[in-house]
Amino acid sequence: MLLIEIDKTRYRRHLNILIAICIVCLFIGSFGISQLLIYLYPAPEGTHFHWNLLGVVSSVLLITIIFNIYKDHTFLNEVSYVWRLKKELNLISRKMRKLMQASKMGDEKAMLAIQFSYTGFSAVMDAR
């Protein structure tokens, strides 16, 4: 993965918009689905926990599917790049102990991975 410069204000604005859209969709979707299920299948004892839970889970799945469809859209360029970068950095940091040992033995690939981790981490911190 190559490190690229991103427009930090655009990234933050688009991330905030995406978070707001997800919150609204989760609220409306889970409430709407659970109310529809309660209307169609009322429970005589009055508890509707399973319908509410099904509404939340189905809304999360629907948001995930929609995001996966639109993740390559130009609006989400910076957001999806930073998420992919964080994923890569997480994978590297899980293996950091082995990478440090390998770099002490002179392994060039381990040194490159460590250098990428340090550079990428500083880039992610700057994006905040």
Interval 9-38: pLDDT, tens: 999 999 999 999 999 999 999 999 999 999
Interval 95-104: pLDDT, tens: 999 999 999 9
**CA dihedral of 47, 49, 51, 53, whole degrees rounded to 10:** 170
Say if residues 29 and 58 touch (Cβ distance below 8 Å): yes
Interval 70-93: pLDDT, tens: 988 999 988 998 889 899 999 999
Measured in degrees and rounded to the nearest 5, phi and psi for residue 105 equal -90, 0
With 90 as the cut, is the pLDDT of residue 41 above it? no
With 80 as the cut, is the pLDDT of residue 46 above it? no
pTM attached to this predicted model: 0.78
Say if residues 110 and 102 touch (Cβ distance below 8 Å): yes
Say if residues 114 and 99 touch (Cβ distance below 8 Å): yes
Q: What is the mean pLDDT of the chain?
A: 89
**Cα 14 vs. chain centroid, distance in angstroms?**
13
